[in-house]
Amino acid sequence: ETGVTQSPTHLIKTRGQQVTLRCSSQSGHNTVSWYQQALGQGPQFIFQYYREEENGRGNFPPRFSGLQFPNYSSELNVNALELDDSALYLCASSSRDGTGELFFGEGSRLTVL
Amino acid sequence: AQSVTQLDSHVSVSEGTPVLLRCNYSSSYSPSLFWYVQHPNKGLQLLLKYTSAATLVKGINGFEAEFKKSETSFHLTKPSAHMSDAAEYFCVVPTSGTYKYIFGTGTRLKVLA
């Protein structure tokens, strides 16, 4: 069974740039969620995708957007990066027919200078 | 609205002594509750989950938690700490439909030799 994988693991951007983070969901999972974890904080829900459509969104501005592909992998895009976007971005997959448990990847650490 | 409060941001114990990490929840109905662990530079791993089947829940690595409705608590315990238990622990409540997790602010556990 393949777990959740994320890429890249680390990246550095400057203010105003755009970034794309990628996630491959665990085999058999059809739902992907994205979380932002700032240093010293708990993860905050960004949004969730199910069957290629956004299915729930947290308190994040529209410059945070995403996609889910037919193979259930997903992308998180952030435009017009701000310093406060520096964080660990976690992807989690789950199955709608399952227990609701989320399986997390190891994250992508974004630093905005 | 649902929420969780982790009462200690840092806990230090000696190896071989008991561990207690405290979590209180707020919910308008009987919730599901989870504990996740995050080791340095790693993703989040599910330790245990309460889904109303039994109030005392056993998890991995010797951890357990007891759901106490009268106290709105879901504290995590372990009889004897091991050095490998040093990590960040998160108490989590999923929202209705389980599509969004609400994380506590985390408790960093330090285990002293």
Specify the 3-state DSSP secondary structure of A85: helix
Tell which of B25, B98, B102, B107 to mutate to test the A interface (max A CBs under 10 Å): B98
pLDDT at B97: 63
Tell which residue, B31, B24, B46, has the closest CA to residue B97.
Answer: B31
For residue B45 the two structure tokens come to 């791993």
Q: What is the mean pLDDT of chain A?
A: 92
- Hey, how many other C-beta atoms are within 10 angstroms of the C-beta on B113? 6
CB distance from A54 to chain B under 8 Å?
Answer: no
Residue-level pLDDT at B98: 56
How wide is the angle at C-alpha A88 spanned by C-alphas B103 and A72, nearest 5°? 85
Is residue B2 over pLDDT 80? yes
Q: Residue by residue, what is the 3-state secondary structure of B24-42? A: EEECCCCCCEEEEEECCCC
Q: Which of residues 22-51 of B touch A (CB under 8 A)?
A: 32, 34, 36, 41-46, 49, 51
C-alpha to C-alpha distance for B56 and B23, rounded to whole angstroms:
15
Out of A45, A48, A105, name the one closest to residue B43 (CB).
A105
pLDDT at residue B95 is higher than 90 = no
DSSP B34-93: EEEEE-TT--EEEEEEE-SS-SEEE-GGG-EEEEETTTTEEEEEESS--GGG-EEEEEEE
Q: Quick check: A56 pLDDT over 80? A: yes
Is the per-residue pLDDT at A98 higher than 70? no
Closest partner residue to B100 among A4, A48, A105, by Cβ?
Answer: A48
CB A88 within 8 A of CB A80: no
pLDDT at B62: 96
Per-residue pLDDT tens for B25-59? 988 777 889 999 999 878 899 999 998 778 899 99
